[in-house]
Amino acid sequence: MNGLRIDPYERGWMIASGIILAFFLLAVGVSAYHGFTLPGREEHLETSPGGGGARFPEPAVVQRGPGRYDVYMRAQIWAFVPSEIKIPAGSTVTFHVTSADVLHGFLIERTNINLMALPGRVTKTAARFDTPGEYRFFCHEYCGLGHQIMWGKVIVESRS
C-alpha cells in the first residue's frame, strides 16, 4: 500500500486539474447545444438551383451613407472579387464574405479582421478605417496551388 501514497501537494493539483477538466467538458457540452455558432450561420446561401436560402449579391462596394460602406466580397481560387476597395478615411466598412469554391481565409493587415470564407455561407464583420494608406488583405487558409497570390488591398484615401 505504501506505493499508492500520494503527496498531499500532488493530490491537490490532481484534484484542481480534475475540476478544470470537468468544467471544460461541461462548457463544450453546453456550447454544443446552446451557444456554438459557425461563422455566418445566420446567412445561408443557395448553393444549388432551388436549394432555398438567399443569393449572394454581385461582388461590389456599396455606399450606404456618409462614411458607411458595405463590401460584398467573393473569395475564389485564387482571387478576391473585388480585389481593390477605395474608401475615404474615417469610413466604416461592413464586409460580407463568401467563397465560390473551397474554404479561404480573409485577413486585413493592421485591422482586427480575420475571417473564414466558406462556400454557402456569409461571414460578416465591420471595421473602421481612420488612417489613410493601403491595407492589404490575404487568404490565410491554404487553398491550393495559387494560394500565395490570393490577395488584394483596401485603399484609404485622405479627406482633403
Residues that bind ligand CUA (CB under 6 A): 78, 104, 139, 141-143, 147, 150
CA-based torsion, 27, 96, 113, 62: positive or negative: negative
Minimum Å gap between C-beta 97 and ligand CUA is 12
CA 54 to chain centre: 20
Residue 73 or 139: the one with the smaller Cβ distance to ligand CUA is: 139
Residue 81 vs 89, nearer CB to ligand CUA? 81
Return the number of the residue (117 or 156) whose C-beta is nearest ligand CUA. Answer: 117
Whichever of 136 and 159 has its CB closer to ligand CUA, that residue is 136
H or E, element range at 124 = strand 123-129
To ligand CUA, the closest distance from the beta carbon of 148 in angstroms equals: 8
**Smallest distance, Å, CB 66 to ligand CUA?**
33
User: Which among 132, 148, 152, 130 is positioned nearest to 140, based on CA atoms?
Assistant: 148
Cα dihedral sign, 141-127-122-37: positive
Least distance (Å) between residue 120 CB and ligand CUA: 16
Comparing CA positions, the residue from 40, 57, 55, 60 lying closest to residue 104 is: 40
How far apart (Å, rounded) are the C-alpha atoms in residues 122 and 87? 22
- Closest to ligand CUA by CB, 87 vs 97, is 97
**Of 69, 72, 68, the residue nearest 60 (C-alpha):** 72
Shortest separation between residue 154's beta carbon and ligand CUA, angstroms: 17
